[in-house]
C-alpha cells in the first residue's frame, strides 16, 4: 500500500476548500448581475446546490462518476454511500492521499457544474423545477461525462483525450445545458427593452475575485500532489486569466469605445475557463495565447446571442460553452510532454492532427450528450412540476415569489 503524504493530503484538502469557495463566489458573481428583485433567488441557486449536490455525491454520485464502470460509460454502485471509500489511498487516481480526500475534491467539481448553468435561466425559473432538474442533471449528465473523461476505464480517457481540470466535464457540459434551458424557458418578460441591467456590479467583481482565487485549487489541485505540475498549473492559470481580462477589455474598447468593469471580470472568467483543460499540459506562453483567444472570442460569442435571439441571462454559453471548447481544442495545439510526461504532443509540438482529432471527439461527444439529455430532462421536469414562473411572479421577482423575502430592505 502506498504511503500517504501529509504534504499532498494537505494540498488536496486545501484545494478542495478553494473549489468549494468558488460556488459561493459564483453566487455573488451572478447575484450582482441580475436585478435587485432577483438577487436572493439567484444566490439561492448556487448555495442550495452546494448542499444538494454534496449529499447526492456521497449517496450515489461519486460511485456513478468514479466507481468501477459499466462498458466504459458510467460507474457502478459499489461505492454507494461511500462504502469502501476510506482513509487508504486509491492508487488508480491518487496514490499519496486518502481516497476520501480525492472523493471530496472531485465532489466540489460536481457541485459547481450545475451551479454554472443557473446563470442562463436567471430571473425566470421556478424553484421546484430547478431542484428536480438539478438532481436529474447531476446524476444523469454530470456523472456519466465525468466517468467518460476521468475514470480509469472511461471511453474518452482511453482515447487519450486531455482534460486536466474540467474543460469538457465542467464547462462544455454546463455551457451546452445552459443553451438548452435558455431556449426551452424562452426570453425574460423584459428582454430587449434595456431594463435588464446589473443591479450591483461591486458584488459581481467580488464574486469574480473569489472565483479567480478558488480556481487555483480547481486547476493546480488537479495535480493531486504538491509538486512541480501543480506549480505549473497554478502559473498558467493566473497567466491565462490575466491575459483574457486584458483581451476582453481591448475588444470592448475597440467595439464600444470604452472598457467596462463587467467586461474585465467576464474576460477573466473566460480565461480561467479556457485554461482549465490545458492547465496541466501547456507552458506559460501557450497560456498567454489561450487567454488572448478566450478574451476576444468569448466577447464575440456573447455579442452573438443578441443576433441569435436566445436569452442566456448571464452569458454562460458564451463564456463557459465557448471558452471550454476553445480550451479543449487549444490543448490539442499546445500540449507538450515537457510540462506533463503523460500528455500527447500537441500539433505545434509535432503531434500532428491526431491529437487535435482526439480533443475534437471529446468536445463533440460531450456537447451532443449534454444537449440531448438536457433537452429530455427539461421536457420531463416541465411536464412534472413546471419550469417557468408565472408572468406575475416574474414581475414581482424571484425573491418574493419563490422565497418570500427581499434582498434589500430600504
pLDDT one-digit tens code per residue, 364-398: 999 999 999 999 999 999 999 999 999 999 999 99
Region 264-285: what's the mean pLDDT? 98
- Look at residue 70 in the predicted model and tell me its pLDDT: 84
pLDDT one-digit tens code per residue, 346-365: 999 999 899 999 999 999 99
pLDDT one-digit tens code per residue, 131-159: 999 999 999 999 999 999 999 999 999 99
Q: How many CB atoms lie within 10 A of CB 223?
A: 25
Q: Per-residue pLDDT for 1 more than 70?
A: no
Q: Which residues make Cβ contacts (< 8 Å) with residue 209, sequence separation at least 6?
A: 25
- Look at residue 173 in the predicted model and tell me its pLDDT: 98
Q: Which residues pair with 388 in a beta bridge?
A: 125
CB 363 within 8 A of CB 166: no
324 CB-side CA count, 13 A: 26
pLDDT one-digit tens code per residue, 85-98: 999 999 999 999 99
Q: Per-residue pLDDT for 195 more than 80?
A: no
Q: Per-residue pLDDT for 112 more than 80?
A: yes
Q: Which residues pair with 75 in a beta bridge?
A: 69
CB 179 within 8 A of CB 374: no
CA distance 379 to 218: 32
pLDDT one-digit tens code per residue, 37-58: 999 999 999 999 999 999 999 9
CA distance 328 to 163: 7
CA distance 340 to 165: 14
Taking alpha carbons only, the member of 282, 389, 267 closest to residue 344 is 282
Q: Which residues make Cβ contacts (< 8 Å) with residue 342, sequence separation at least 6?
A: none
Q: How many CB atoms lie within 10 A of CB 91?
A: 11
- Look at residue 164 in the predicted model and tell me its pLDDT: 98
Which domains occur in the chain, in start order?
Answer: 7-186+197-403 (1.10.3430.10)
CB 204 within 8 A of CB 32: yes
C-alpha angle 213-217-218 in degrees, rounded to nearest 5: 100
pLDDT one-digit tens code per residue, 216-235: 999 999 999 999 999 999 99
- Look at residue 410 in the predicted model and tell me its pLDDT: 79
- Look at residue 96 in the predicted model and tell me its pLDDT: 96
Given the DSSP bridges, would you call strands 89-90 and 94-98 parallel, antiparallel or unpaired? Answer: antiparallel
CB 377 within 8 A of CB 365: no
pLDDT one-digit tens code per residue, 17-36: 999 999 999 999 999 999 99
CB 288 within 8 A of CB 245: no
Confidence category of residue 192, pLDDT binned at 50, 70, 90: confident
CB 145 within 8 A of CB 169: yes
Region 266-271: what's the mean pLDDT? 98
- Look at residue 11 in the predicted model and tell me its pLDDT: 98
3-state helix/strand/coil string of 182-198: HHHHCCCCCCCCCCCCC
Residue whose entry in the numeric block shows the C-alpha cell 467595439? 255
Single pTM value for the model: 0.97
Residue whose entry in the numeric block shows the C-alpha cell 430571473? 123
Look over the chain and give the mean of its residue pLDDT values, rounded to a whole number. 97
What the block records as the C-alpha cell of 149 is 473523461
Amino acid at each position: 500500500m502506498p504511503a500517504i503524504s501529509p504534504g499532498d493530503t494537505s494540498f488536496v484538502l486545501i484545494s478542495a476548500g478553494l473549489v468549494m469557495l468558488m460556488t459561493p463566489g459564483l453566487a455573488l458573481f451572478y447575484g450582482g448581475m441580475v436585478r435587485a428583485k432577483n438577487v436572493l433567488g439567484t444566490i439561492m441557486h448556487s448555495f442550495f446546490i452546494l448542499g444538494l449536490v454534496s449529499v447526492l455525491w456521497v449517496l450515489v454520485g461519486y460511485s456513478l462518476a468514479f466507481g468501477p464502470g459499466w462498458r466504459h460509460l458510467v460507474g457502478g454502485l459499489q461505492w454507494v454511500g461511500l462504502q469502501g471509500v476510506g482513509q487508504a489511498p486509491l492508487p488508480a487516481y491518487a496514490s499519496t492521499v486518502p481516497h476520501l480526500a480525492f472523493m471530496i475534491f472531485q465532489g466540489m467539481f460536481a457541485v459547481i457544474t450545475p451551479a454554472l448553468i443557473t446563470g442562463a435561466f436567471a430571473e425566470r425559473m421556478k424553484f421546484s423545477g430547478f431542484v428536480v432538474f438539478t438532481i436529474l442533471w447531476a446524476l444523469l449528465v454530470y456523472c456519466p461525462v465525468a466517468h467518460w473523461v476521468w475514470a480509469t476505464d472511461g471511453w474518452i480517457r482511453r482515447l487519450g483525450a486531455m482534460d486536466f481540470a474540467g474543460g469538457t466535464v465542467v464547462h462544455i457540459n454546463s455551457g451546452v445545458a445552459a443553451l438548452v434551458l435558455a431556449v426551452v424557458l424562452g426570453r425574460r418578460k423584459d428582454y430587449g427593452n434595456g431594463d435588464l441591467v446589473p443591479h450591483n456590479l461591486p458584488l459581481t467583481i467580488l464574486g469574480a475575485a473569489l472565483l479567480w482565487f478558488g480556481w487555483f485549487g480547481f486547476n493546480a489541485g488537479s495535480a493531486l500532489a504538491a509538486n512541480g505540475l501543480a506549480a505549473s498549473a497554478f502559473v498558467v492559470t493566473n497567466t491565462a486569466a490575466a491575459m483574457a481580462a486584458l483581451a476582453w477589455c481591448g475588444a470592448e474598447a475597440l467595439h464600444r469605445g470604452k472598457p467596462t468593469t463587467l467586461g474585465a471580470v467576464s474576460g477573466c472568467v473566460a480565461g480561467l475557463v479556457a485554461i482549465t483543460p490545458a492547465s496541466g499540459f501547456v507552458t506559460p506562453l501557450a497560456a498567454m495565447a489561450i487567454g488572448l483567444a478566450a478574451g476576444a472570442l468569448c466577447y464575440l460569442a456573447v455579442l452573438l446571442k443578441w443576433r441569435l435571439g436566445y436569452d442566456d441571462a448571464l452569458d454562460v454559453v458564451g463564456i463557459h460553452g465557448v471558452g471550454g471548447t476553445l480550451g479543449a481544442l487549444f490543448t490539442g495545439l499546445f500540449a507538450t510532454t515537457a510540462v506533463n510526461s503523460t500528455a500527447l504532443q500537441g500539433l505545434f509540438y509535432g503531434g500532428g492532427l491526431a491529437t487535435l482529432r482526439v480533443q475534437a471527439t471529446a468536445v463533440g461527444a460531450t456537447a451532443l450528450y449534454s444537449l440531448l439529455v438536457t433537452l429530455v430532462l427539461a421536457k420531463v421536469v416541465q411536464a412534472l412540476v413546471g419550469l417557468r414562473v408565472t408572468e406575475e411572479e416574474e414581475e414581482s421577482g424571484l425573491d418574493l415569489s419563490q422565497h418570500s423575502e427581499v434582498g434589500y430592505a430600504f
